Amino acid sequence: MKLKKKSFAKIKSILEIPPLLEIQRKSFDRFIEKDGSSSRAIRGLSAIFHEIFPIENADGTLRLDYVSYELKEPKVTPDEAKERDMTYAAPLYAKFRLTTVDGARIKEKAEQEVYLGDLPLMTDTASFVINGDERVVVSQIHRSPGIVFEEDEEQKISIYGKPMYVGRIIPYRGAWIEVEFDQNNILYIKLERRKRVLATIFLRALGYENNQETLNLFKDDEELRLGEADDDVLMGKFLSRSVVDTSTGEVLLDAAEILREGSNLDRLSIRKETLDNFKAHKIKSVFVHRNPAFILTLKKDPTKDKKTALNYIYKIMKSQDFIVPSHVEKYLDDLIFGDKPRRYDLTRVGRYKINKKLSAIFEELKKNSKDFKVPSEDRRTLTKEDIVAAIKYLMNLSNQISGVTDDIDHLGNRRVRPVGELLENQIRVGLIQMARYIKEHLNTKDKSQMTPRSLINTVPFTNNIRKFFATGQLSQFLEQTNPLAEITNKRRLSALGPGGLNRKRAGFEVRDVHHTHYGRICPIETPEGENIGLIVSLSAYSRVNDYGLLETPYRKIEKGRITDTIKYLTADAEDEFYVAQATEPTDKNGKLVNQQIITRRFDDYPEVSPDKIDYIDVSPLQVVSVSAGLIPFLEHDDANRALMGSNMQRQAVPLLTTEAPLVVTGIDEKVARDSGVMVIAKNAGEVVWVDAERIIIYTDEKESDEYILRKYKRTNQDTCINQIPLVSLGDRIRAGEVLADGMSTAEGQLALGKNLLVAFMPWDGYNFEDAIIVSEKLVREDTLTSIHIQEYTCEARETKGAPEEITRDIPGPSSEDLQQLDENGIIRLGAEVEKEDILVGKTAPKGEQQVGPEERLIKALFGQKSETTQDASLKVPPGVSGKVIGTRLFVRREKMSEKEYETQVDFLKQEHEARRTFVKEVMKEYRKKSKKTESKKIDKIEKELLIRIEAEYKKSRENLKKGDDLGVSVNKVVKVYVAVKRRLQVGDKLAGRHGNKGVISKIVPLEDMPRMPDGTAVDVILSPLSIPSRMNVGQLLEAMLGWAGYMSQTRMVTPVFCGATEADVRNEIIEVRNDLIKKGVPAKYLPDANLRITLYDGRTGDPFLEKVTIGYMYIIKLIHLVEDKMHARSTGPYSLVTRQPLGGKAHQGGQRLGEMEVWALEAYGAAHMLQEFLTIKSDDEEGREKMFKAIMEGRPPIKPGVPESFKVLVSEMRALGVNVDLLSYKKDATKGDKPSKATEKAEAK
């Protein structure tokens, strides 16, 4: 039943939340450039090809050019790929041109299309299907390329008492360059983070050979008046300009000449005699270098020109004395400065960051030198101007003239690498390896036989793609527990992965919430373990711009009035502005009311007047992620509990029947719609067909749209996908309307749990320490029951002796065990199965037996299998019982017998005929109900449906003819799907949306549960002690507003940070209470305004002493089900090394008796029990066997022997060269302890 809605929102949102999967879809679409090859821009996949090609041979006579690429149609649909364990991918073809050049003229051209491999495609829901598994590529957040200036961590202060800084130019790909001072104020350039060269040598290598010109670039001098300045201040300073006696014209000190010579720079230093000379000539003032670093560096510089500087750098970098002149010339160009960004690449964002950071310096240097050129925005490698500007910025910073240090955790210095970019990097590696192979073959192969196809080896290309998707750190198994888990997984940002951080070395700063996260990264949603702060979620309104920087939207404020102009700002752009909160009160014209308003600027919160404010938040929701935004009354919860709440919603199991919450935040519908679990109408029209499996709409464009519903499909986490139609025959549908609900949705809204009546009270101590008591009614009515689908696979392989066979004829099992199997040995649909039941009958040959031709003939004639084959059937594992809901058989065509083929064809024919008949019957009925004028429309729909059925039948026949694509040596594969119904039981984990979680400790009969005065029994009892210390009071407000919603049949909408206040909740309860009293409900049956009421004990009928708070809370069942965790072992497998029992349920393992458990038994003095635990029950193999025999024969138990772990220790010590022998002492009653003979011998040695 659809409830009416009541909103408590205080602010009307003017901007809708952008599509939640946009970050993934947009990035992948840009990468493959969907708009066709002819108009394709050079970016993404196309850009990589242009970067690597053309490739030439050594003498330049052969050249291989890239022309274009094309992605063909994929061979299978995503659903087929999942079913058949295939990859949903499109074949990638690239066109290459091989050109033969003879001197200046082109001799011949050969163009050819080459198949490079299959490129996995993204599905409509932004995931990839790889080998049948649905996976997602998580976006990476990493350090942005560009330039940063930081305090030097190794050397904080120089000998001059100045703070020391370091400037780093960080490329996207290539060598890092660092500009730094040493303790003696000498300037160095560090290349590739290891080798240091003097900055002046590096500048000389770049072409700045003249000392005077170089110094002019860094004009950094100040005028000091001789009379005013103290002599001590002047001493040791370096003169920056020549000193001339203006009265006579005599040059007292020629700075330009000294610099030109460069041999004795100490003459520029002011000494006592120099000063006396100046005073004698009545010099009034001199110009000195503010920072002598450059002069000090020049003093140490052994080079004089560009050539010697290049040789010097080459020797240091290569760590060798001999040099190759041709290599020296292009060494720096290849390393950093080349025009092609093949080895060194800043990317567009790196260049943007450098130009932005150094813009003021560029302008200053332009004034100092006419030849200075500011690097273009399109340039992706470094220029010499960048190095000069970086040095200048560092000097200004060191002199405290200008410039600021950078915060590396600022989101202006961190960027997002989405799926397209990550895939681009991986493909680049593959293409570079491929280019190496091509270059070799261009130089060695016979030219007359060459074609583009013969030159290209696609193995590195396909291997890199396969490696990226199958084993890459950022390619993850899609979390599909429910729609929210899926959407969160796709909106996640990870700082881990290739080129990222290491969780063991990541410090507190990088994990912490930063002020720039506001509106970009959620401060709440992050994992609780060692990944805390390294894996984060995008905020609801956040988006990634073309540079990979995170942006968030703001509304512009002009003269204190909010406008409807929306601007997306990056973190560094926002730093300059005053930004107010969305909840700031305004009048009806949008003018800010308060005289002083708290705003944000950098990491400060100043109070300013409205006319100073530049922007205001778009919505209070923009701070948090989608998952945190689903928590009502989030503002009343402690952040730690909100984190748990948002994480636990992702673990909610889809229930058998769904129910939307009574208290929502208003974004539930958006999440459900964008997750892709529901069926949404593409076009407007009329429903002309609806059943459990498909919906057909006759659109307004006179076409028919068919929607196939997914029924009882398994997710990655074994939960169940089931779509249920919401429309009826003849309904008019609008485009974008919800046609069918999916898992965990109800009427188009997210529905993760159930609204249950809760009471906060103790009950015989059963809800001690977060335990939860539930009513038996929840189990009886399947309120929190869920369906889980298990997939079991059985393969028949080709073995050395004979092939394995899937058959009903199995040696061993009785006829009763086989009665559920069909003639092929596969379990029938609908069969109820439990542990050890046979799902697929399979025989395998026994060991290594030589079978002669006579034996093979007898076996073929009489079917005597028991002698040579053994039972290898697929059985139901322990702890599983359910119903078989599906089976799939995949057979290699050459292994399919003619009889099997004919049977399959007959089955397809029967199915085809049944569908045709069904369509005709339904349309016949539809004709009777509709008007005569609509008969043409019905005929058209019927014709289209029959054409589709025919096409599907032909495709199925074609697939059957081709057979299935199976792995090497696999003849048949059978998949069996078993649906398991999981009812609520003691040990299951339940939770609310506020981080309030607990385990069911008791399921109480309905008649024993506490009751309200009108006889209504409570569903769930929670401990009242779980609220005060946890500070998640939001759950109380939710329960209170939930009661008002339940009693008035209204859905309460309370958005985060601007929803219902405590007063609103109280008023709503009073209003609902008064309405019920008016309708004749006695007041004694209703709770008071605080929702407290006297409850009655169901066991005795007596009222409880105190009033109890009750309410309707949204309770979810988490995937941590006790049935999956319950496990016991009597005997089982043992470890090969230690001979101890294995651990874990998957290995039929035992319970670990650790160090602390040993202490506990020691403390109790349970010596014999402890000895038994550590020997016979663990790894004393001889003792185990002896004990077993003793028990079987009824003898007293034997004493334990030496455990295997002690023997392992002895062996390890011997491996270290320490001989360890176990010595024993014999007891003698008369002479006391006496060493054995072995001991005496050992002692004698």
What is the spatial distance between Cα 669 and Cα 1021, in angstroms, rounded to a whole number?
30
Could you read off the pLDDT of 1047-1084 as tens digits, one per residue? Answer: 999 999 999 999 999 999 999 999 999 999 999 999 99
What is the spatial distance between Cα 838 and Cα 557, in angstroms, rounded to a whole number?
71
Which range has the worst mean pLDDT, 140-149, 464-473, 856-865, 968-977?
856-865
Tokens 């051209």 appear where?
Answer: 109
The sheet carrying 842-845 orders its strands as 805-806, 842-845, 869-871
Which range has the worst mean pLDDT, 299-308, 710-719, 995-1004, 1107-1116?
299-308
- Per-residue pLDDT, 702: 80
Task: Provide mean pLDDT across the span 161-168.
Answer: 88
Could you read off the pLDDT of 522-533 as tens digits, one per residue? Answer: 999 999 999 999
What is the spatial distance between Cα 592 and Cα 802, in angstroms, rounded to a whole number?
84
Contact between residue 1113 and residue 1035 where contact means Cβ atoms under 8 Å apart: yes
Question: What length is written for the chain?
Answer: 1245
Give the CA angle between residues 771, 774, 775 to the nearest 5°: 160
In 371-494, beta strands by DSSP E = 414-417, 475-477, 492-494
What is the spatial distance between Cα 1026 and Cα 1113, in angstroms, rounded to a whole number?
15
- Per-residue pLDDT, 38: 46
Most confident of 287-291, 303-307, 601-605, 751-755: 751-755
Residue 961 makes CB contacts below 8 A (sequence gap 6+) with 893
* Residue 310 tokens, joined: 């290049």
What is the spatial distance between Cα 663 and Cα 652, in angstroms, rounded to a whole number?
17
Contact between residue 323 and residue 315 where contact means Cβ atoms under 8 Å apart: yes
Which range has the worst mean pLDDT, 291-300, 761-770, 1122-1131?
291-300
What is the spatial distance between Cα 593 and Cα 1240, in angstroms, rounded to a whole number?
100
* Residue 485 tokens, joined: 């888990």
In this predicted structure, the answer to whether residue 869 has a pLDDT above a threshold of 90 is no
What is the spatial distance between Cα 1124 and Cα 1081, in angstroms, rounded to a whole number?
46
* Residue 108 tokens, joined: 């011949």
What is the per-residue burial (b if ≥16 Cβ within 10 Å, else e) of 807-824?
A: beebeeeeeebeebbeeb
- Segment holding 462, helix H or strand E: helix 459-471
- Peptide bond connecting 54 to the previous residue in cis, omega within 30 degrees of 0: yes
Contact between residue 1140 and residue 1204 where contact means Cβ atoms under 8 Å apart: yes
In this predicted structure, the answer to whether residue 1114 has a pLDDT above a threshold of 80 is yes
In 372-528, beta strands by DSSP E = 414-417, 475-477, 492-494
- Per-residue pLDDT, 39: 47
Which range has the worst mean pLDDT, 244-253, 576-585, 715-724, 778-787?
244-253
Percent of the chain topping pLDDT 70: 95
The pairing of beta strand 1020-1022 with beta strand 754-760 = parallel
CA end-to-end distance (rounded Å), the chain: 92
Task: Provide mean pLDDT across the span 396-420.
Answer: 92
What confidence tier does 547 reach under pLDDT thresholds 50, 70, 90? Answer: very high
Could you read off the pLDDT of 43-99 as tens digits, one per residue? Answer: 889 989 998 988 988 888 888 999 999 999 998 999 999 988 899 999 999 999 998
What confidence tier does 791 reach under pLDDT thresholds 50, 70, 90? Answer: very high
In this predicted structure, the answer to whether residue 866 has a pLDDT above a threshold of 50 is no
- Per-residue pLDDT, 615: 97
What is the spatial distance between Cα 64 and Cα 1149, in angstroms, rounded to a whole number?
60
Per DSSP, the three-state class of 233 is helix
* Maximum distance among all Cα pairs of the chain, rounded to whole angstroms: 129
Q: Please state, in angstroms and as integers, the Cα–Cα distance from residue 420 to each residue in 24, 497, 552, following that order.
A: 8, 15, 21
Contact between residue 637 and residue 646 where contact means Cβ atoms under 8 Å apart: no
- Per-residue pLDDT, 37: 46
* Residue 101 tokens, joined: 């050049």
Provide φ and ψ at 624, rounded to 5°.
-110, 165
The closest alpha carbon to 710, from 21, 20, 83, belongs to: 83
Give the CA angle between residues 879, 883, 888 to the nearest 5°: 110
Amino acid in the structure at residue 336: I
Could you read off the pLDDT of 983-1034 as tens digits, one per residue? Answer: 999 999 999 999 999 999 999 999 999 999 999 999 999 999 999 999 999 9
Which has more confidence, 724 or 42? 724
Could you read off the pLDDT of 898-929 as tens digits, one per residue? Answer: 777 888 888 889 888 988 888 888 778 777 77
- Segment holding 26, helix H or strand E: helix 22-32
**Mean pLDDT for all residues in the chain:** 89
Per DSSP, the three-state class of 943 is helix
Which range has the worst mean pLDDT, 475-484, 942-951, 1035-1044?
942-951
Which has more confidence, 194 or 1103? 1103
Amino acid in the structure at residue 174: G
- If DSSP states are collapsed to H, E and C, what string results for 847-909? CCCCCCHHHHHHHHHHCCCCCCEEECCEECCCCCCEEEEEEEEEECHHHCCHHHHHHHHHHHH
What is the spatial distance between Cα 459 and Cα 672, in angstroms, rounded to a whole number?
41
Contact between residue 887 and residue 82 where contact means Cβ atoms under 8 Å apart: no
Tokens 């069942």 appear where?
Answer: 1117
- Per-residue pLDDT, 281: 73
